[in-house]
Structure 1
Amino acid sequence: MDQTVFVINPGSTSTKIAVYRDKKRIFSESIPLEISGEEKNAGLEETLRIKKEAISRSLESQGIDLRGFDCIMSRGGVLRPMESGIYRINESMHSEVTASAASGHASGFGLLIAGEMADSLGIPAYIADPVTVDELEDIARITGIKEIRRRSIFHALNQKAVARQHAAILGVPYEELNLIAAHLGGGITIGLHKQGRVTDVNNALDGEGPFTPERSGALPAAAVADLCFSGKYTREETVKLFAGKGGFMSHLGSNDLLKVKEMIAAGDRDADLVYRAFVYNIAKAIGAMAAAGDGMIDGILITGGIARWKELVAAIRAKVSWIAPVSSYPGEFELEALRDAGLRVLRGDEIPREY
C-alpha cells in the first residue's frame, strides 16, 4: 500500500513543502518568506499563523486532502545536542524549539507547524537530522578559552543525505567511508564525515568557517573586540554585521551571486578579488578538515545552492583535488531526505527516537 508523506522545510527566505506518495513527488512549492510583507515585524504566534495559513492555501489550491497524509516530516530546529536519526515531535521538543523560533531561526518553525498539523489530523510527525546533530570528537570541542567550547550546529540533514547518496553510488556503506562534505549556501558548513559520524564541522551559526554571501565567517578576535566596544553599533547591529550584512554583502553590497558573476564579467576587479578570496577560504577549510582526518579522505562532496555555480566548483576542485576526488551535488536534498526518513518509519525499517 502506498504511503503518503508531507514534508515541511523552512529556510531563511522561503518555506519549501512537498507531498510524496512513496518515492514519487506529487506536489511541491517554495513559499516566499514575506507572503504580503506582514511577516516582517510579526511575533512568534503571528508568524506561525501566517506560515500555517500559507501552507494550507497552497495545499488547498491543489485539491490535496490533508486527511490522506500518513505522517508529516519536518526539518528540526535548534535543540539540545543529539545523535543523528529520526525523532518523534513531542511536547518537550516543542517547548525547547519555541525560543529559537522566536529569535528568528527559521528551522524551528517547521517543527512547530508540523506538530500542530499532525495533532489536528491524528497522525505522527517527526524530524530527522536536525541542525544540532552532535557527533564531534572531544578534541574538536576545545578552544583557546576554557569557558568557550565549540558547538556542533550545521546543515546536518543535507550533508548526511549527500554523503549517503555518494556512498550508494560507490556501492560502499556510508559507515566505511571518510568524506568531507561542503554545504555552500547562505550559510556554509564543512564537515568531516568519519565512518558515518561527523566528527568535526564548523559552526556557521556562531560565526565559524568561510565567509558567505551574507555572513562574515571567522574574524580576528581582537578586531571583533574593538568593533564591539567602539560605540558605533548596538549589539543587535553588530550581530547583523556578522550574519546578514557580512560576506559579499559587506564587500560588494549584494548577496546575489548572479549579480556578482555579472560584476566580474564586466571587469569589476573588487568583485573578482572577493570571489577568489571566497574560493580560497572554502578550499582552506576543506584542507583543514583533511588534516583533521589524518589525510585519509575518500572523497570531497560539494553541495548546496552555490554548487550550481560550475566555475566556482571547478575553482575549488583545482585547489583541493590533490586531497581526494571531488564530486558535485548541486542544490539541496533535504526534501528527499525527509521523505525517505518518513518512509523508513512508516515501513518499520527504523524506529523513531524519543527526545
Structure 2
Amino acid sequence: MYLLVINPGSTSTKVGLSRNSELLAVDTLQHAPEEMRRFRNVMDQKEMRRRAVEGFLSRQGLSPDKLSAVAARGGLLDPVPSGTYAVNAKMLEHLLTAKNGEHASNLGAVLAKALADRAGISAFVVDPPSVDELEDWARFSGRPELPRVSFLHALNIRRAILRCAAELGRPLQTCHFVAVHLGGGISVVAVKEGRIVDVSNANHGGPFSPERSGSLPARELLHLCFSGRYGEMELRRQINGKSGLLGYLGTNAGQEIEKRIEQGDEEAGRIFRAMAYQIAKEIGAMAAVLPQIDGLIYTGGLAHSELLLGLIQEYVGSLAPAFRLPGEDELAALAEGAYRVLSGKEEARVY
C-alpha cells in the first residue's frame, strides 16, 4: 500500500511517499516569501500547499487514487493520549478556528483530509505535540493557577521509544526510558511502561536549548516582565526564539559552535557544557520518578553531536545504556504510525 505523509512548516512543507512503512521518496517544498506574504493567516495557505503536495505526488508518477491513506503531523490540538488519530470534524473545527493557537502544523490534518477525501481514503495524524499521558502529580507546578501541561516533540520521541523497545525485544508496555529530543527546542521525558508520564515542556521549561531559555528564575523573570524593557509578545519571542545558545553566543547552529570550541573559544565551550549540564540534570530528574531505567534515548538533530552527547554522558552515563537515534525522522514516524493502523497492529484513536 502507498501512503502520503505531510509535515507543514512555517516556510516549507515536507512530504514523503511510502510503500507500507518504508519511505520511497521525500521532498521539502519551499514556499517563496513573497507568496507567503499574500496570506492573512495560516489557514489561507491551504489551497497553495495542497497544489504543491499534489505536484509532488504527480512527480512520483502516482495518482491520488493509488494511495491507501494520507498521514500528517498533528497541530495544536487538545491533550490526547499517544497514538494515530483519524481526522474527524471535531479535530478540523479545532484547527480551523485555531482553538489552541495558530501554527503551521495546524494545516497538517486539514491538508490530509482534503487530499484523502478526493481519493476516498483515510486521513490520520500521528502523535501530535499535545500528547498527554502525565501522571497526576506531574501536573502540579506550585501555583494552583499554573498547572504544568504536556507539550513535547511527541512524534519523533515516540518513534524512538518504539524502536528502542523493539531493539530490546520487549513489549513497549514493559519498558522504562528517559528520552531526550535534542533540537531547536529540547524535550526530556520519562517513559513508564511505555507511557510518557512526565515531560519538560520545550516551550516553558527544562534545559536551555539552541534558541529557547528553558526554566528561568521566577522572581527575576517577574522583575523583567514589569521592567518596561519588553512588551509581552516581544518577551515571548525572546524566551522562545532568541535565548539559549543564540542568546549567549549569537548563533543557534551547533556545528558552528563546535567549530568555535575546536578553535579555542573558551566562552563557547563554557556555554555548550552548561547546556549539556542542564540536560543531564533534567535526565536525572526524570530518572528519579521511574522504578527502573532500561535506556537513555537521544534523538533529534543535535543527537548527531558527539561532543554534546559525550558531555551529557559524563554526568548520566552510569544510569542506563544509551540509545542514539539522531535526526528528526518525522516523515518516517508518520508513515509508520499510519501503517500500524492500516495493517491492524493498532486501532485508530478518535479525537
Residue from 315, 320, 323 that aligns with 1:319: 315
Between 243-252 and 22-31, report the one with greater CA deviation.
22-31
Q: 1:257 to 1:24 in 2, by over 3 A?
A: same
Residue from 144, 147, 161 that aligns with 2:159: 161
Instruction: Kindly indicate whether the alpha-carbon contact (under 8 Å) linking 1:101 and 1:109 is maintained by their aligned counterparts in 2.
Output: no
Task: Give the alignment of 1:1-355 within 5 angstroms.
Answer: 3-11=1-9, 14-32=12-30, 34-39=31-36, 42=39, 43-100=41-98, 103-205=101-203, 207-294=204-291, 296-355=292-351
By how many angstroms is 1:221 displaced?
Answer: 1.0
* Structure 2 unaligned residues grouped into runs of 5+: none
By how many angstroms is 1:104 displaced?
Answer: 4.3
Q: Tell me the secondary structure at the aligned position of residue 29 of structure 2.
A: strand
Q: 1:169 to 1:336 in 2, by over 3 A?
A: same
Distance 2:98 2:205 in 1: 19
Q: Tell me the secondary structure at the aligned position of residue 52 of structure 1.
A: helix
By how many angstroms is 1:177 displaced?
Answer: 1.3
Q: Tell me the secondary structure at the aligned position of residue 30 of structure 1.
A: strand
By how many angstroms is 1:160 displaced?
Answer: 1.4
By how many angstroms is 1:45 displaced?
Answer: 3.3
Residue type of the partner of 1:284?
A: K
Instruction: Kindly indicate whether the alpha-carbon contact (under 8 Å) linking 1:20 and 1:339 is maintained by their aligned counterparts in 2.
Output: yes
Distance 1:327 1:347 in 2: 27
Residue type of the partner of 1:347?
A: S
Distance 2:33 2:3 in 1: 28
Distance 2:9 2:315 in 1: 30
- Report the TM-score when normalising by structure 1: 0.93
RMSD over aligned CA atoms reads: 1.9
Instruction: Kindly indicate whether the alpha-carbon contact (under 8 Å) linking 2:78 and 2:100 is maintained by their aligned counterparts in 1.
Output: no
CA deviation map 1:311-345 (0-9, x unaligned)? 21122122111111112111123222221222222
- Report the TM-score when normalising by structure 2: 0.94
Distance 2:251 2:98 in 1: 27
Residue type of the partner of 2:155?
A: L
By how many angstroms is 1:196 displaced?
Answer: 1.1
Q: Tell me the secondary structure at the aligned position of residue 204 of structure 1.
A: coil
Q: How many residues align?
A: 350
* Structure 1 unaligned residues grouped into runs of 5+: none
Distance 2:53 2:199 in 1: 33
CA deviation map 1:153-199 (0-9, x unaligned)? 11112111111111111111111111000011111111100011111
